[in-house]
Amino acid sequence: MDKKAEIRAMIEHPEYLLHAEKMSLDKRIEQKKLDSKDVRSAVVDTAKSKGKQLAVDVLNGKWGDLILDLVDTGDHLKDRLDDMKKTLLLAEYLQKTDDQEQGLHRLSSLLTNPYGLSIYSKIVSLLSDAPSDDDMLDIMSDYLGNLANEKDWGSTFSKNKSILNLIDRSSPLALTLLRNSDHWPLVPGPKAFIAVDGRVQGDNTGWVATAFSKVPVFSNIEKTSIQMAIVDLESNKLAEFISGTLNPPYANPNNPSELIYAERPTDAGNMLKAAVSKSSATNQES
């Protein structure tokens, strides 16, 4: 099977190729299985070895070629998995553009620009280290769409590197919450708290997660997962829990000075949100 066929097979049936490789390796291991006498002998021999020599003994034994094959198989499948992720990323990006031909031209410009290529390489690296997750592909394809529409990748290079570093430190769920910050609700306030410049001190992520879990767009997510994502956002200084009063006409007419509590994105959070959210410009020609 050639490379293109393998990538298509992994996209359509990712479990098939992995299972086929596993069956092939398992069969070869069974064929080379040591009998009980060989096992006892091997244990005695390797027990006499120390440090690196023990590994050398194993490699020089019956299992040596299979160990090397396992290394090759892991490398091969990792390469194909990375190729699959890149293919899905570009396909999802194109699927979100109204003019796919123009979208391909923008990608071509990005990949043949030294700054653009460097940023794209970082995107690929992030995907390589992450599972093949639909949410992450959705997030990164939106980011790629916004990136492709930029006019001068050199002038925005530092900003994009900062954005990618923030993405790297954030979980897919944290990024999903951030992209949906317009749906973040008011939060019932704690009975006792300390606020400094409107920022409520202490760990209030449990309160926030409970309020988030009641919002329809987040209702299918476990509350504990929401809480961990909020911890993620706050630890990366992408969101903060605040208290304050509302201005008219939003204030409670019966209690205008009533304190309200809410989680909100920080300036860095809003910058990241804009970068990883689909922009109307994605569907416009440059």
What angle is formed at CA 85 by the lines to CA 19 and CA 150, rounded to 5 degrees?
175
Could you state, in order of their start, the residue ranges of all structural domains in the chain? Answer: 1-94, 172-273
CA of residue 64 relative to chain centroid, distance: 36
Report how far residue 212's alpha carbon sits from residue 217's, in angstroms, rounded to the nearest whole number: 9
Residue 193: predicted pLDDT: 65
Number of neighbours of residue 49 by Cβ within 10 angstroms: 13
Backbone angles phi, psi at 133, to 5 degrees: -105, 130
Residue 162: predicted pLDDT: 95
Two structure tokens written together for 70: 């396992």
Residue 145: predicted pLDDT: 94
Is the omega angle on the peptide bond into residue 253 within 30 degrees of 0, that is, cis? no
Q: Are 229 and 177 in contact (CB under 8 A)?
A: yes
List residues bridging with 265 in a β-sheet. 239
pTM: 0.72
Q: Are 5 and 78 in contact (CB under 8 A)?
A: no
Residue 52: predicted pLDDT: 45
- Which candidate, 224, 129, 125, 142, places its Cα nearest to that of 176? 142
Beta strands 199-200 and 260-265, pairing class: unpaired
List residues bridging with 99 in a β-sheet. none
Number of neighbours of residue 105 by Cβ within 10 angstroms: 14
CA of residue 5 relative to chain centroid, distance: 26
Beta strands 239-244 and 260-265, pairing class: antiparallel
DSSP 231-264: HHHHHTTSEEEEEE-PPTTTS-TT-TT--EEEEE
pLDDT tens per residue, the chain (286 residues)?
666 776 666 566 555 555 555 556 556 556 555 443 444 444 444 444 444 444 555 555 555 565 556 566 666 667 777 888 888 899 999 999 888 889 999 999 999 999 999 999 999 988 887 766 678 889 999 999 999 999 899 999 999 999 999 999 999 999 999 999 999 998 887 665 666 666 777 888 998 999 999 999 999 999 999 999 999 999 999 999 988 766 666 666 766 667 778 899 999 999 999 999 987 444 444 3
Q: Are 143 and 167 in contact (CB under 8 A)?
A: yes
Tally of CA atoms within 13 A in the half-sphere of 118 that contains its CB: 10
Q: Are 137 and 85 in contact (CB under 8 A)?
A: yes
Contacts of 44 (CB under 8 A, 6+ apart): none
